[in-house]
Amino acid sequence: ILTTHSMEECEALCPLIGIMAGGKLRCLGSAQRLKFRYGKGFQVEVKVREVAEVDEDYVSILKSLSEQVGVATTVDNIEEGSAATESTLLNLDQVLSALQALTGDDYLSAMIMPDNPSGHVIHKAATSEVGVTMDEVASFCVEELRIKAVIDFFASVYPKSVLRERQETKARYEVPSDGLKISGLFGTIEENKELLRLADYGVSPTTLE
C-alpha cells in the first residue's frame, strides 16, 4: 500500500487508487475509471509547427515587414535567404510601428515588453545598441499568430474551454465534457490539424489532481 498526496505518483505506480477526504474513503478504482467517473472534461495539448523560412506565412510576413521598413525584396530572395532581411537591424520604435501596421492593432506590439514571456527576447534585442534582425521579428510574428489561431479556434469551437498553460509553441487546454466524447474532440482536432499548423497534439481525460 502506497500513501501519498501525489496523484501523478499514484498513476505511475498503482493499478488501483483510493482517494480519502475527511477521514473517509470517497472513491476506489483505476486511474482511468476515476478520471471518467469524476473528471470534469478533457485535457488537450497542442504544439504548433516550428517556423521555417519556406513557410507561406513566414514569407508573407517577412515581405510585409520589409515593405514597412523600406527594404527592397521579393518572394524569391526571401525563400532563398535574403541578405537584406538578415542584415537589416531594427530598433524598438521600428519594431512597434511595423507590428502595428502588420496586424492593424496592438496584439503583437503589446507583447514587446521586458516582462512579457513571449516578447521579451525581441524587446531586449531591439533596445540594444545593435538592434534586432528583421528575420527574428518575422519568426516571432509567425509563432504568435499561429498560437493566436489556436486560441481563436478553441474560443469559437469550445467556448467553455480554458487555456491552462502556454509555453512557446505549446498550449494546454481544459475542455468541459458537456456530453462531448473524447472521440469527437479528437476528430475535430484532427480535421483542423493542417489549418492550425499543428506539429503534434494529444487528447486525454483531465488529471486526477
The per-residue pLDDT for range 62-78, each reduced to its tens digit, is 999 988 877 655 455 55
Q: In this structure, what are the phi and psi dihedrals at residue 152, rounded to the nearest 5 degrees?
A: -65, -35
Give the separation between CA 9 and CA 74, rounded to whole angstroms.
Answer: 55
Question: In degrees rounded to 5, what are phi and psi of residue 85?
Answer: -75, -30
State how far the Cα of 140 lies from the Cα of 171, in Å rounded to an integer. Answer: 16
Residue 142: its pLDDT value, please? 96
Please give the model's pTM, rounded to 2 decimal places: 0.77
Span 25-44, pLDDT tens digits = 888 888 878 777 776 788 89
What value does the mean pLDDT take over residues 48-59?
92
pLDDT of 76-120, one tens digit each?
Answer: 555 555 555 567 889 999 999 999 999 999 999 999 999 999 999
Tell me if 99 sits within 8 A of 141, measured CB to CB.
yes
What value does the mean pLDDT of the chain take?
86
Q: In angstroms, what CA-CA distances link 159 with 17, 22, 144, 162?
A: 33, 35, 21, 8
Residue 17 DSSP one-character state: E
Angle CA(121)–CA(154)–CA(178) in degrees, nearest 5?
140
62 closest CA partner among 118, 142, 154? 142
Burial class (CB in 10 A: 0-12, 13-18, 19+), 3: exposed
Instruction: Enumerate residues 6+ apart whose C-beta is below 8 A from 183.
Output: none
Place of cell 498526496: 5
- In this structure, which amino acid lies at residue 10? C
Helix (H) or strand (E) holding 25: strand 24-29
Spatial contact of 201 and 47, defined as CB atoms under 8 Å apart: yes
- Give me the percent of the chain exceeding a pLDDT of 70: 90
Phi, psi dihedrals of residue 114, rounded to the nearest 5°: -65, -25
Residue tagged 458537456 (cell numbers): 178
